[in-house]
Structure 1
Amino acid sequence: MRGIKRVFLVLAVLAVALVVLAFVLENQQGVSLSFLGWTTLQLPVAVYVVAALIVGLMVGPLLCVLASATRRHKRTSIARE
């Protein structure tokens, strides 16, 4: 059973890698982003999308940790009263 799970995991990782590779190869046209007067360099669309994904993957768990710490702090302060 362990071997089947490992094979499925490897196949899933390969499928995700192939989808990402296809996305990057399909989105090679250069774009420049502008926001509130700031303009970025002209880079492929895939660079910006992957950068947004990485930032989201870092910010999401950080917000969850902060929210759980805030809840934990509120529970302990209520219990003390």
Structure 2
Amino acid sequence: MRNFKRALGALFVLLLAAVVLFFVLENQQAVALVLFGWSAPAVPVAVPVIAALVLGLAVGPLLGAYGVQRSKRKIRASARQATMSVN
């Protein structure tokens, strides 16, 4: 069963790599981005799209973890407050 999961994982990674490679090869048109007056050099369309994807994949879990920690703190604070009001 472990070998099957490993093979399935490897197949998924290879399929994902093939899709990314296909995307990059199909989007070779040059584009220059301008943000607040700053102009980036012309790069293929795939570069900013994949950069945005990677940035989102990095920032999303960090924001989720921050939300969980914040919720835990609120629960602890309300539990402490409830025990103080009982005493």
Which is higher, the Rg of structure 1 or of structure 2? 2
Establish whether residue 23 from structure 1 lines up as the match of residue 23 from structure 2: yes
Q: Deviations over 1:11-56 (max 9, x none)?
A: 1111110000010111111101123333221111111011101110
Partner of 1:6: 6
Q: Could you tell which deviates more after superposition, 35-44 or 47-56?
A: 35-44
TM-score normalised over the length of structure 1 = 0.90
Number of equivalences: 81
Separation of aligned partners in 2, 1:38 and 1:68 = 36
Separation of aligned partners in 1, 2:76 and 2:5 = 41
Partner of 1:80: 80
Separation of aligned partners in 2, 1:9 and 1:40 = 37
Separation of aligned partners in 2, 1:60 and 1:79 = 29
Structure 1, gaps ≥5 residues long:
none
Letter in 2 for 1:65: A
Displacement of 1:69 in angstroms is: 1.1
Partner of 1:61: 61
Letter in 2 for 1:41: P
| Aligned-residue RMSD, C-alpha | 1.1
TM-score normalised over the length of structure 2 = 0.85
Separation of aligned partners in 2, 1:76 and 1:3 = 43
Displacement of 1:66 in angstroms is: 0.8
Structure 2, gaps ≥5 residues long:
82-87
Separation of aligned partners in 1, 2:65 and 2:73 = 12
